[in-house]
Chains A and B, each alone.
Chain A
Amino acid sequence: MAVLLIVLLPFIGVLLAVASGRLGRRAAAVAAAGPTLVAFALLMSLAPSVLAGEVLVLSRPWVPALGLTFGLRVDGLGFLFALLILGIGLLVIQYAYFYMSRGDPLWRFFSYLMLFMGAMLGVVLSENVLLMALFWEVTSLSSFLLIGYLSDRSAARRGARMALTITGLGGFCLFAGLVILGQIVGSYELTDILASGELIVGHDWYLPMLILVLIGAFTKSAQFPFHFWLPNAMTAPTPVSAYLHSATMVKAGVFLLARLHPALSGGDAWFYLVGGVGMATMFFAAYVAFFRHDLKALLAYSTISHLGLITALFGFGTAGAAVVGIFHIMNHAAFKASLFMTAGIIDHQTGTRDIRILGNLRRAMPYTMVLALLGSAAMAGIPFLNGFLSKELFLKETLTAPMMAGTPWLLPTVATVGAIFSMAYSVRLVHGVFFEPGQGKMPKEGHDPSAGMLLPVAILVAICVVVGVAPQWTAAPLLAAAAQSVVVGELPAYSLTLWHGFTMELLMSAIAIGGGIFVYTQRARLYDLAHRIWPGLTGGAVFEKTVELVVGAGARLTATLENGSLQRYLVLLLVMALAAGALPFIQYGFSSGPQELTPTNPVAIAVWALLVVAALATVLTHRNRITAIICLSVVGLLISIVFVYLSAPDLALTQLSVEVVTILLLLLALFVLPKTAPRESSRLRKGRDIAVAALGGLGMGAISWAVMTRPQDSISDFFLEHATYPVGGGTNVVNVILVDFRGFDTFGEVAVLVLAAFGIYTMLRYANHTFVEGVPDTADDRYPVVLVSASRPLLALILLMSIFIFLRGHYLPGGGFIGGLVASVALIMQYLASGIDWANERMRLNFRVVAVIGFLIAMVAGSVAFVMDLPFLTMALLGMDVPLVGESDFVMTLLFDLGIGLAVVGSTMTILSELSHMQEVEPYDEAQRAKESDPWKP
């Protein structure tokens, strides 16, 4: 349970820090330090068992299907890292409290910091590797917030984005690699993975998995060629750099190498990839660090270099090297954190971090100087300090590294040269800042800071010294416990003593120290040389450029594809449909069915010919819109004749009435829309469209031909059998299907109608009073006398007819829908003939309500069945006899049909009356229109 609390406490700290927002700086610091302290104490309570070699595992199920558990694990390695995270975390909180300027919202800073701390603890204490990957990405995210904390600086924003992108990318790769790893092992629990080294190394997926995992580790630990984000991340406030960029987050990469060392280090690829990248990074970054003038940049490159050293140690793949790697992790964390804090102090007190400007601070900042001196000495690997111990062990390992049989001198040489530069930049750090006179004027006269700010540095430096002098009594137990987690089987022999006799590595150390001092003395010449041959290209710049290119290309590609042309989208849709429809026929061939063809007759041919002519005429005359409408109406008319001919009287009636209303609608639309269309398509485009259209039409025809010539086996016989009384209760099977068998479709269809009416009403009401353009002057011939006088008696007649059609629907062609449409036509004629005012005076009905009530009636008719515990829309309520009227099923279907009819009348009338209303509008002034078109404006 303690483990769980350790991981959760920082997240509680996040909430506390947020909550402390209004309580001031001190409260924020307490909110952060409190949980950290408690977690630290809890961790310490685990120390005895962990140092005794126990592995504590706590597992809670989370998503079994993914193999993801909430599994935590404390072993030596995890303990060591947790100690670093919490211990240095405490020091950083103390330091930040003094470092951050008074005006800063400290609660925000600390909430980010605690978020990071929790995620980092999660990474090092995870038992489940997927959980580890999850926390891993959270560290990237929280570091994004921390690096970008000084968000008004563009460098900070850029640095944050760069860090997030690179480490996020690495996180994704790591995560992918871990998924493969888990699939190889069959489990995502570390216990299982660490025990399956041979299985993993021998597996086919070893190499891709390894590469993915290593990208994760290398990006996080800023290894070449992913190193460039780290110097750019130096725009973060210094406490962040001290914490994330020296002691903890960048260590996550090498932690991962250590963590998976028992499982992955067995392959040759491991040695070449990890060892190679580590050595290259160590050398390269040490060289670059020497030429940096910014204190933090120097330290950043130095960190990269030391991480390379650690990486290389793990890369050697031997148990001995791995132990040294762990040891250097500990040592580096201590001296580098102290150095970053020192750099922060110098920056804070003098206002600059430029080594060229800084100078002669030894008198003004004596305490700082001592601390910096000791820290740098540890970094350079001077005896009696912790850095010396691990560096010497490292040099020794380079001499005995396996797989370098052909060129045994290569690794030691690279290591020594790297160490020379390491010495050189350490000397420069101290000498350049505290002893050499500066070249410019510092913004502020420096002096030592308050004790509160120096204290964390002092503690870290003290650790460096104590470990350096007496390693056996201080670091040894911790190192042994941690090493045990990294090494399979017994720990190798290693000796943590200052003096090993006159050995090769001692010679190399001596060369490094001497060489470093020599290089430093030649610095003026070297800067000059470097200045001349320095490549103008840096990783960061390349990265920025790449991102810009990708984003730009993305924007261009998108703009090209999504060009806002409906025609393109439509052509794509149609071509896609053509391909979909044609492909099977191309694959399997087109075949007509065996069915005998139906003989034709001259009338049919004549209708066909007219139909074709009318359709083509619609196309040809489409520019002259009135003519086109007339052609279209001819098509509609002919189609209803075709429906009659094909024994579909209901369809014919419906088609006819719909056609009338549609034509009316289109004519009304032409009051507003232009009556002609310009020519605008290019010849090429027309050709393309004709091709698509011809193929599309052909496709439809072909499918229809193929189906019509095949024999039929349909469910329809059921409808014919059951439509009549006593089951369906009607003789018009189509109508029975509509109101009974498939009443649900009809119900939905009513919904569509009502929706359309409401939508049209909304649209026209919004813009309606402003329809002025194109309205013809209809002063005199607006209400033709003939029409007026004819329409009124006609109204009654047609309404009667519609009721008749409606009533007979169940038995003969007709029904609610057609009845409703006919009634609507009759009503709308009044509007057209006599004008809206006249009609409105006499028809005080709100047609929208009529439509909704129709919908309601249909709903009620369907719901009556619930009383009998029968499903919705059950019409045949057997055994019920409605007084005076007759059988219940007839009543129900009639009611349902009535609902449909009302909905149709209501909807159609809403649509048509709103549309015809348009002619009545008066011109509207522009200002009013602007105001009304945006009702949100006051």
Chain B
Amino acid sequence: MNHWIALPILLPFVSAILIEIVGRGRIAVRRGMGLASCLGTIAVGAAMVLLTRHGKVYTYALGDWEAPFGVVLVLDGLSALLVALTGVVSLFCLLYAMNRHDTRGKFFHFFIQMQVAGICGAVLTGDLFSLFVFFEIMLLSSYNLLVYTGDKQSLRAGIHYVILNLTGSVLFLVAIGTLYGVTGTLNMADMALRVSELGAEDIALVRAGALLLTVVFLLKSAILPLYLWLPNVYSSAMAPVAALFAILTKVGVYAILRVSTLIFGPEAGVAADAIEPYLLPLATLTLLLGMTGALGSTHLRKMMGYLIVASLGTMLMAMGLFTETGIASGLYYLPHSTVAIAMLFLLADLIGRQRGPEDDHLVVAHMPKQSGVLGLIFFVGAIAVAGLPPFSGFLGKMWILQASLPAPQVVIIWAVILSTSVMALVAFSRAGSLIFWKGEEPPKGEPPRGDSQMGATAFEFLPVVGLLICIVLYTAFAGPVAEFCTVTAQNLLTPSVYIEAVLGAQR
């Protein structure tokens, strides 16, 4: 039995439960369990990536009910990639949070584990409705983590985030309902088959369902015009949470990619290419506006938020080509941007704390106490996020450019990618030179304000440096990773592989 496929979901769930039962009041136990669970998720995720690297699709019939009747977990390269990525990002966020964030309230570790379980469940399930359920687990965990500090800013952002997403959930249900009404099934593979067999009389209905579903995922993945919520929300969360959030939007990207290739791909009969025409233009504009926002941001965290928007635009542009290299290059870019931005969020926190009351606002303030090492990491991180060499972001952009060359929209895509890269350069060089070069020496004799006189400890640098090392490794091993992305993209563009793996002998 492939029980291990369920592990990325069960492991964090069990850890969450044990954290609350065994670890009550004992922070060391909670931390240990959280770490063990994240390490376990990484291990399983890595194994999954290795197992799926040749394009094999694994299934796991929960409750021993075969698809499409029961809920079935499906593991392919795309899910494996996201599971592994979730493990990595959550591990470092957890490490960072152990410095002081996790002792503020009671359930930090519980929420984090639930968040991980929610993400893993969402990317592993092969059923549309349980995708909804796990989206909700993921979102509710994120609501909790966002308002965890209970301060004014995060509550204000929380109201927006929660209400917007609740409305999104309603839409999600309407979309699922419509698709069930037309196809009579909830299993995605089965739905793909049934959609391709629909008659012309159902064309409008099924397409409406497809587009409604897309709108929901666009909201989650913060694509134009539904990105406006993100910068404020992410910059209001505390640093390790914001860093973890960097992965949430990727689940939206995952979902778009999944349904647009599996259910509404070119072979979907009357619903063929229902989503395809809209993705590329929206993503292009998202990239432009996201980068404009980053350029005009007044503080560092907000800038990171807009950079997330821009990076989502970038990867969905590539994926929106719906070609093998397009999707592959987008897939390659996805982990890179997640890790790089997570790192910068943590770094922004370290920087902000050492600047006194000005925090991370882009105004002249005290030079951070450890400006040397912080500046160095910022420099490297900025390079990575801006897609400058020698890091994986550059390789990703290089690949995206190559992938878009045969496309009819090549001029626009190239112009936007290149000009936004320059904008990122300007944004980062402005921010960096302001913080690390223009800073004033703290006035002598004045008592230290806040944390500004306290340097970060080695343990606080550990997760930042760890994420940085991840980027370096991701660059060094770009060869095999790119191969993996290519195989995964091929698989996505041949939905029959997935469908056969799920429905197997019955069809």
Report A's interface with B, CB cutoff 8 A.
61-68, 108, 130, 133-138, 141, 144-145, 148, 151-152, 154, 157, 160-161, 164-165, 168-169, 172-173, 175-176, 179-180, 183, 547, 550-559, 561-562, 564, 566, 568-570, 572-574, 576-577, 580-585, 587-591, 593, 700, 703-704, 706-708, 710, 712-716, 718-719, 722, 740-745, 748-749, 751-752, 755-756, 758-759, 761-763, 765-767, 848-849, 852-853, 855-856, 859, 863, 865-866, 869-876, 933-936
Contact = CB atoms under 8 A, between A and B. Distances in A.
A936 B100 contact: yes
A742 B105 contact: no
Nearest to B160: A566
A151 B436 contact: yes
Given A558-B293, A849-B21, A856-B21, A748 B111 contact: no
A62 B478 contact: yes
A157 B293 contact: no
B265 to A, nearest CB: 17
Nearest to B291: A554
B228 A742 contact: no
B63 A871 contact: yes
Given A573-B219, A866-B3, A550 B148 contact: no
B140 A756 contact: yes
A148 B185 CA distance: 62
Contact of B231 (A68, A183, A562, A763): A562
Interface stretch (B9-17, B40-48, B246-254, B340-348): B9-17
Nearest to B275: A580
B168 A933 contact: no
A906 B105 CA distance: 20
B460 interface: no
A179 B150 contact: no
B1 A589 contact: no
12 contacts: A61-B479, A63-B479, A135-B390, A141-B383, A160-B433, A555-B297, A566-B163, A570-B163, A570-B164, A749-B133, A852-B17, A870-B64
A667 B60 CA distance: 45
Contacts of B232: 562, 564
Given A553-B296, A761-B106, A763-B147, 4 more contacts: A66-B399, A148-B437, A765-B106, A872-B63
A484 to B, nearest CB: 30
B437 A855 contact: no
Contacts of A848: 20
A555 B298 contact: yes
Nearest to A61: B479
Contacts of A748: 121, 130, 133-134, 136-137
B203 A65 contact: no
Contacts of A763: 147, 150
A564 B161 CA distance: 11
A65 B399 contact: yes
Interface residues of B, number: 126
A598 B234 CA distance: 50
A580 B215 contact: yes
Contacts of B79: none
Contacts of A581: 208, 211-212
Contacts of B485: 65
Contacts of B478: 62-63, 66, 68
B164 A573 contact: yes
A190 B163 CA distance: 56
Nearest to B290: A558
B422 A64 contact: no
Contact of A172 (B129, B422, B436): B422
Interface string B413-446: 0100010011101100110010011100000000
Contacts of B160: 566, 569
Contacts of A135: 389-390
A161 B231 contact: no
A738 B50 CA distance: 34
Given A168-B425, A176-B418, A570 B140 contact: no
B328 A65 contact: yes
A68 B21 contact: no
Nearest to B411: A208
A151 B434 CA distance: 10
Q: Which 6 A-B pairs have the closest CB atoms?
A: A555-B296, A714-B184, A707-B181, A554-B296, A151-B437, A580-B211
B215 A576 contact: yes
Nearest to B148: A762
Contact of A762 (B62, B144, B289): B144
Given A584-B204, A762-B107, A712 B296 contact: no
B27 to A, nearest CB: 15
Interface centre among B171, B297, B383 (most CB of A within 10 A): B171
Contacts of A585: 204, 208
A175 B483 CA distance: 22
A585 B202 CA distance: 10
Contacts of A64: 479, 482-483
B6 interface: yes
Contacts of A569: 160, 164, 226, 228-229
Contact of B205 (A157, A703, A865, A873): A703
A870 B130 contact: no
A874 B6 CA distance: 13
A183 B418 contact: no
B422 A933 contact: no
A63 B482 contact: yes
Interface stretch (B65-73, B81-89, B313-321, B461-469): B65-73
Given A66-B395, A561-B228, A933-B150, A574 B296 contact: no
A157 B144 CA distance: 42
B159 interface: yes
Contacts of B20: 848-849, 852
Centre residue among B65, B100, B295 by max chain A CB count within 10 A: B65
Contact of B479 (A62, A580, A706, A766): A62
Contact of A751 (B117, B182, B401, B486): B117
Nearest to A707: B181
A165 B432 CA distance: 13
A741 B100 CA distance: 43
Contacts of B389: 133-138
Interface in B86-120: 100, 104-107, 110-111, 114, 117-118
A715 B63 contact: no
Contacts of B14: 859
B17 A169 contact: no
Given A144-B429, A176-B401, A707 B182 contact: yes
B388 interface: yes
A135 B401 CA distance: 18
Nearest to B159: A566
Contacts of B185: 714-715
Contacts of A936: 100, 104
Contact of A871 (B1, B187, B289, B414): B1
A755 B62 CA distance: 23
Interface string B351-387: 0000000000000000000001000000100010000
Nearest to B194: A713
Contacts of A703: 174, 178, 181, 205, 208
